[in-house]
Amino acid sequence: MTNSKKELLNKFRDRGLSLYFHFPFCKSKCSYCDFYSLTGKADLKSEYIKALIAELDLSGRRFSSLYPEPSTIYFGGGTPSLFNPANFNLIIEKVKSNFGLKLDPEITLEINPADINSFEELKEFKQAGINRFSLGVQSLNDEELKLLDRRHDSKQAREVIKFLHELGVNFSVDLISSLPGQKSFDYLTSLKELVKYRPNHFSIYNLQLEEGTELFRAVANGELPEISEDVDAINYKNTERILKSAGYDHYEISSFALPGYQSAHNSSYWRFIPYLGLGPGAHSFIELNRIENLKDLDSYIKLNSKNQEAEHQIDELIIKELRSEFMFLGLRMEQGILKKEFYDLFGQKVDVFYGDKINKLEDKGLIKSTDRVIKLTDQGKLFANQVFLAFID
């Protein structure tokens, strides 16, 4: 018998919790970025921390009994590295007082190489409680960094990587492939050099041109060439080959990690684990609902300063939608979808709902289905979006 939404909710609450804090502050806007972030708002930073704490207190009162002791905290943006270490220490301590915290939690801070000028600065972040860093390198080619409107150059990126090694801390590197007009040789040159530095983790994204960004406008107006799908496919295959030969596990479509260094926080997004997002523009998946805080910094600060709930939009998902999300998000992972896990959550075998789709995708060579799992094939990884769309009802 298919599980009811109440039964599913009880199982969902037992899967843990991750916390995300959004910092929508930037010194300048990157040409490809469509995340909610603002420039020229540095004078609001101290008020923003107070507002985050207020939302955290409200969230603790509402959810801590249902979702105690989160296992990960992630500080993203925007540019959270514009804030000082004491701010993050305060938030971490407030998480402990509101929710508790699992033993040995993963606590990640996104950093821009332009904001780190010394080893001592990184050391202070570590002393504040950060035990994992996500470094936005994007490229080691200075012309490409200019195209992306990044504030740092390749020299600064290399220096910060050396600081991270000296600190002996877990760190990930972000890299973007398939820029307009980019040659595979240039992208692979950056990748091969970064591999030599042995970061614990790589997040590698093929550029998505989002409407409203400067790069989208430039390509649409013919000022830059369109991104080549052929080059994109070549880059993907070569990335996997290079990183696997260097000892990295390709555990998710865009993610590679040395053994033992998969991102626990990012994995929660793909593994149907509840997460709570705080800050304007932050997203949550909590109580089987999708929630987005409205992208309005001033309103967020004003409401939270009065201990009023920030404005947000709730999308109450029905079981059919939840099954669909479990499928296409789970397929992003190398481990694929565990059929037993699907049955435990939804009370029916996966073939009852998706048997025909699974058979068709398997016939096309895009997925492999065994008695235990469903996962993308190598060919399926190249056409992943086509596979995901098949499971969206």
My answer on whether 179 and 30 are in the same domain is yes
Residue 302: inside a domain: no
75 and 183 part of one domain: yes
Look at residues 73, 62, 92, 76 and name the one whose alpha carbon lies nearest to residue 16.
73
Q: Tell me, what DSSP letter sits at residue 26?
A: E
> Which pLDDT tens digit goes with each residue over 128-152?
999 999 999 999 999 999 999 999 9
Domain boundary (213, 246, 270) is at 270
Mean pLDDT over 175-179 rounds to: 93
pLDDT value at residue 231:
86
Do 197 and 116 share a structural domain? yes
Q: Is residue 232 very low, low, confident or very high in pLDDT (cuts 50, 70, 90)? A: confident
- Tokens standing for 229? 């799908």
Same domain, 155 and 262: yes
Q: Name the domain boundary from 270, 287, 310.
A: 270
Both ends of the chain: CA-CA distance in Å?
Answer: 21
Q: What is the pLDDT of residues 41-80, one digit of tens each?
A: 999 999 999 999 999 999 999 999 999 999 999 999 999 9
Q: Residue 335 sits in which domain range?
A: 318-393
Confidence of residue 111 (pLDDT cuts 50, 70, 90): very high
Mean pLDDT of all residues in 280-300 = 96
Q: Does residue 262 sit in the same domain as residue 326?
A: no
Q: Which pLDDT tens digit goes with each residue over 314-325?
A: 999 999 999 999
313 domain-assigned: no
Indicate which CATH number applies to the domain containing 353.
1.10.10.920
Q: Do 260 and 204 have their domain in common? A: yes
pLDDT at 182: 87
State whether 111 and 198 are in the same domain.
Answer: yes
Helices (H), the chain: 5-13, 45-63, 85-98, 119-127, 142-147, 154-167, 184-196, 214-220, 229-245, 264-270, 297-305, 319-330, 339-346, 350-363, 378-382, 384-390
Q: Domains in the chain: how many in total?
A: 2
- On whether residue 47 sits in a domain, the answer given is yes
Of 245, 270, 295, which one is at a domain's C-terminal end? 270
pLDDT-above-70 percentage for the chain: 100
Q: Determine, yes or no, domain membership for 141.
A: yes
Residues 373 and 254 in one domain: no
